[in-house]
Structure 1
Amino acid sequence: MTRPPTITLTLVEGRLDRTEYVFDERSTSVLGRARDCSPRLPNDEHHRTVSRHHCLLDINPPAIRVRDFGSLNGTYVNGRKIGQRRNDQTPEEGAAQSFPEYDLREGDEIKVGGTVFRVGIQVQHTLERIQCRKCGRDVSGETGVRTGEYLCASCQAEPAAMLRLLLDLARPEHRELSSIAGYTLLKELGRGGMGAVHLARHESTGKEVALKVMLPRVAVRAEARARFLREVALTQALSHPNIATLHSAGFSNGTFFFTNEYCTGGSLDLLVDRNDGRLPADEAVRLVLQALEGLDHAHGQGVVHRDLSPSNILLHKAADGSTTAKISDFGLGKAFDQAGFSGLTRTGDTAGKPWFMPRQQVSNFKHATPAGDVWALAACLYHILSGEYPRDFAPGKDVWQVVLDSPAVPIREREPSVPQALANVIDKALQEEPAPGFETAAELRQALLAAADSW
């Protein structure tokens, strides 16, 4: 068995509590003087020009990338400045600028104020030649890790073609594909950066499911694959009327696939789009109250979503015309990212969009709590009522620094028609300092019910 690659930051200049920081899995690290930074730099005469949130390290061993946040004194790599705002600019003006990112290599040194780290990258190389599992092209140079299953960039761009191939291969001799055997694709339901989802019908039973594929951006090692599927199994155990059921999950030919409950009403973001970007308060609150019931059940089972947005709150329409909100993809996206399968997602052209993400999930990548889910669902409610995001994501501004440094804008500044009692609950729910406004889904649900009684 090959050892996983490792990134090490070794302190070569400066005084910190630790002299070495080791990363053996997907992570992010914010350097600066703020208390939520790690490593946190001292607030002394050698670091007075270091920003609270100075620069971001995006880490997916063996890859590591650094980006300056428009700091006053800049970040240096091997003595070369990679980012610095002008002396006459405010931190906000500096954050609105675009600074170059730098892919770090073995032996590179990062200097922030009076602190210097040396980068160490340990990779156990093998002589294994990696081929794309779909087209057979040699992709050894693309993967970074020299072992595992992989799809080339061209095949990753065609998730529907990969899904059709898996369905063609789903015969008795391919036991790993048994859960999708006999399904026929009907139409595409959605597509994202990591894959796509289709409506599929079983040929003999007529059962319809949402069939989803997720295509890793890196070679999938057996250990990482097993760890990810173990986490997915926690989601499969969830059973609640306000949670979209995950029927099955598997992996074959460099591709993860899932069969999910098909919800006939689409997703909440599509409903909002059909209603000119906003929903009436009574309808928005009714759907979010239902989602909170599903969230409360999942948290009671120890499962945190970590990636809530209107696109993964699905709507199921019953024969009587009623609509039920169901949360989908519990933990799926973030588990996929944390396993390293998304590549580098905090920097670069494919960086994520943290419109509904609480601050804690940026400053501490691995730290996901029920309170973070509650914040994200309150952010969804804010969005479907106002058509805006809770934070100001100005064009050109670094989205991750916005999350770290910007509080939510009070909702009635965006949409004055929101009832005052409801606005008070939403504003409290989006509080992050000194503590979350609501720790649990049940607390937020009770507050919303009380507010609904007053308008």
Structure 2
Amino acid sequence: MAEHPSELPEVPGFRAWREFRKLGAGGWGEVYAGLDPDSDELRAVKFTKGPFGETDAQSSRLFRRELEIAQALKHPNVVRAYRVGEHLGRPYLVMEYCSQGSLTDRVVRDGPLPVEEAVALTVDVLDGLAYAHQAPLTTLDARGEKVTAHGIVHRDLKPPNILLTPGTDGAVRAKIADFGLAKAYAAVGLAVITVTGEKQGTPGFMPQAQALDYKHVGPGADVWSATASLYFSLTGRAPRDLPRGGDVWRALLRSPVVPVQDRGIPVPPALAALVDSTLGADRSLPSMTAAQLRDALLTVL
């Protein structure tokens, strides 16, 4: 049995979890997993980063509110969020555990995916996006009263938060993780991107339109990022060749997308044309919805 991590010596409730262990860390925080005593099932727990101490209670409330809104999402291709908590000012999220890691893990380990599998996983992602972009969600208006909003934009879709797990038929299925996190950080002023100001996000899988106006980005940004993730599945590369040093955000705004067939990996011409045309809407964002792109992908194969 794994030892309880020393980094979390006093997390309420987690001492009761069996086999509680650290899985990894990323831009949003650290991820742990263990057997949840409430369900006796394996769950993942994400502890988020951010200055949410006792002196910043308002930011913490705003952050948790956005996570709780996203918690209402229930779809086979969205990682289920079971509950939101807080420890020492750090919000955490108890989530569905996906046993086969991320799309990044898979491609780094095995190389570019076969075309049929890459498209099938992307169809899963687009199904999840189509649902989330239209889902009725309860939120609070400026007066603190409950209202129903329709749809949520992910804002940071990329291969590391496309998680893989066996489906009921035994086939590998893709699920989108971290819905609500980008918006939660934006709500407390930690993720607003401007050309000259503080920048957060993942430039390799972000359209230029999102880098220019992060706060008001719409569902088209997620469609672009889903296509960029498909590009990665097919080639093992991000759509742009960005420098490792220097101002990567300025480079994003100046660097064109490399046509998918220029990566030297065989891709059917019709699929390559669809990928390239979708990613070509870099500053205007794709006109297709997630559902329309899903249907187009199923047509080209």
Task: Pick the aligned partner of 2:297 from 448, 451, 455.
Answer: 448
Name which structure has the greater RCO, CA cutoff 8 Å, separation 6+.
2
Residue 8 of structure 2: aligned partner: 163
SS in 1 for 2:113: coil
1:384: Cα distance to partner?
A: 1.4
Structure 1 portions without partners, runs of 5+: 1-159, 171-179
Kept after mapping to 1: 8 A contact 2:192/2:198: no
SS in 2 for 1:445: helix
Instruction: Describe the superposition over 1:120-170 as per-residue Cα deviations: whole angstroms up to 9, x where unpaired.
Output: xxxxxxxxxxxxxxxxxxxxxxxxxxxxxxxxxxxxxxxx5443421xx33
**Quick one: distance in 1 between partners of 2:132 and 2:28?**
24
Residue 48 of structure 2: aligned partner: 214
1:204: Cα distance to partner?
A: 6.7
1:184: Cα distance to partner?
A: 3.3
1:221: Cα distance to partner?
A: 1.6
Residue 307 of structure 1: aligned partner: 156
Task: Pick the aligned partner of 1:387 from 224, 236, 239.
Answer: 236
Kept after mapping to 2: 8 A contact 1:360/1:367: no
**Quick one: distance in 1 between partners of 2:283 and 2:26?**
35
SS in 1 for 2:118: helix
Q: Does 1:425 align with 2:274?
A: yes
**Quick one: distance in 2 between partners of 1:354 and 1:362?**
8
- AA aligned to 1:445 is R
Kept after mapping to 1: 8 A contact 2:191/2:201: no
- AA aligned to 2:10 is L
Kept after mapping to 1: 8 A contact 2:44/2:95: yes
* Alpha-carbon distance change, 353 to 299 in structure 1, aligned in 2, over 3 angstroms: closer
* Alpha-carbon distance change, 185 to 368 in structure 1, aligned in 2, over 3 angstroms: farther
Q: How does 1:21-420 map to 2 (within 5 A)?
A: 160-166=5-11, 169-170=12-13, 182-203=16-37, 205-217=39-51, 219=53, 221-276=56-111, 278-301=112-135, 302-318=151-167, 321-341=170-190, 353-420=202-269
**Quick one: distance in 1 between partners of 2:41 and 2:283?**
49
Superposed CA RMSD: 2.7
* Alpha-carbon distance change, 331 to 349 in structure 1, aligned in 2, over 3 angstroms: closer
**Quick one: distance in 2 between partners of 1:348 and 1:187?**
37
**Quick one: distance in 1 between partners of 2:194 and 2:108?**
27
Q: Which has a greater percent of helix?
A: 2
Kept after mapping to 2: 8 A contact 1:408/1:431: yes
- Structure number with larger C-alpha Rg: 1
**Quick one: distance in 1 between partners of 2:91 and 2:58?**
14
Kept after mapping to 1: 8 A contact 2:209/2:283: no
1:365: Cα distance to partner?
A: 2.5
Instruction: Describe the superposition over 1:224-281 as per-residue Cα deviations: whole angstroms up to 9, x where unpaired.
Output: 21112121122111111111100011223121111000111211111112213x1111
SS in 2 for 1:163: coil
Q: TM-score, normalised by structure 1?
A: 0.57
Structure 2 portions without partners, runs of 5+: 136-150
**Quick one: distance in 2 between partners of 1:402 and 1:288?**
27
Q: TM-score, normalised by structure 2?
A: 0.84
Kept after mapping to 1: 8 A contact 2:232/2:238: yes
* Alpha-carbon distance change, 352 to 297 in structure 1, aligned in 2, over 3 angstroms: closer
* Alpha-carbon distance change, 449 to 323 in structure 1, aligned in 2, over 3 angstroms: same
Aligned-residue identity in percent: 40
- AA aligned to 1:417 is P
Kept after mapping to 2: 8 A contact 1:185/1:198: no
**Quick one: distance in 2 between partners of 1:253 and 1:343?**
25
1:198: Cα distance to partner?
A: 1.1
1:401: Cα distance to partner?
A: 1.1
**Quick one: distance in 2 between partners of 1:413 and 1:449?**
23
1:305: Cα distance to partner?
A: 0.5
Kept after mapping to 2: 8 A contact 1:353/1:399: no
* Alpha-carbon distance change, 188 to 213 in structure 1, aligned in 2, over 3 angstroms: same
**Quick one: distance in 1 between partners of 2:282 and 2:237?**
22
Kept after mapping to 2: 8 A contact 1:194/1:342: no
Aligned length: 281
* Alpha-carbon distance change, 249 to 347 in structure 1, aligned in 2, over 3 angstroms: farther
Residue 436 of structure 1: aligned partner: 285
- AA aligned to 1:210 is A
- AA aligned to 1:232 is L
**Quick one: distance in 2 between partners of 1:344 and 1:291?**
25
**Quick one: distance in 2 between partners of 1:204 and 1:250?**
14
**Quick one: distance in 2 between partners of 1:319 and 1:297?**
20
- AA aligned to 1:165 is E
1:283: Cα distance to partner?
A: 0.6
SS in 2 for 1:326: strand
**Quick one: distance in 2 between partners of 1:252 and 1:431?**
43
Kept after mapping to 1: 8 A contact 2:242/2:255: no
* Alpha-carbon distance change, 236 to 318 in structure 1, aligned in 2, over 3 angstroms: same
**Quick one: distance in 1 between partners of 2:192 and 2:114?**
39
